Amino acid sequence: MDDKHLAANDEPSASPVEVPHTALEKDLLRAVIESFVLREGTDYGERELSLDDKVRRVVRLLERGDARIVFDPRTESVDVVTKERRV
């Protein structure tokens, strides 16, 4: 049953859902990662990295399983979650 057919008192699952990074189109995956990188303000050490370098690092984290993409139906948002940051 899709959301259009939910009764007024029914709500979609409030649990976050993991989305395999391989399931996203290349442009959408990059947009999700860029949003994460720009929001996180992560310290990359002495040398400042370009946005492309930061995106590549997150892609490697996703490929290794050290990060994952999560959709939160309550907020209707998508985020990258690293092992250090739990849902």
Full DSSP string of 65-84: TSEEEEEETTTTEEEEEETT
Where do the structural domains in the chain lie, given as residue ranges? 15-82
- Output the average pLDDT for the chain: 82
pLDDT over 90 (residue 11): no
CA distance 8 to 25: 33
**pLDDT single digits (tens) 32-54:** 999 999 887 655 556 678 999 99
CA distance 16 to 18: 7
Q: Which CATH superfamily is domain 15-82 in?
A: YehU-like (1.10.10.610)
For the CA atoms of 73, 63, 29, 36, what is the dihedral angle to 10 degrees?
70
pLDDT the model gives residue 10: 53
CA distance 29 to 63: 12
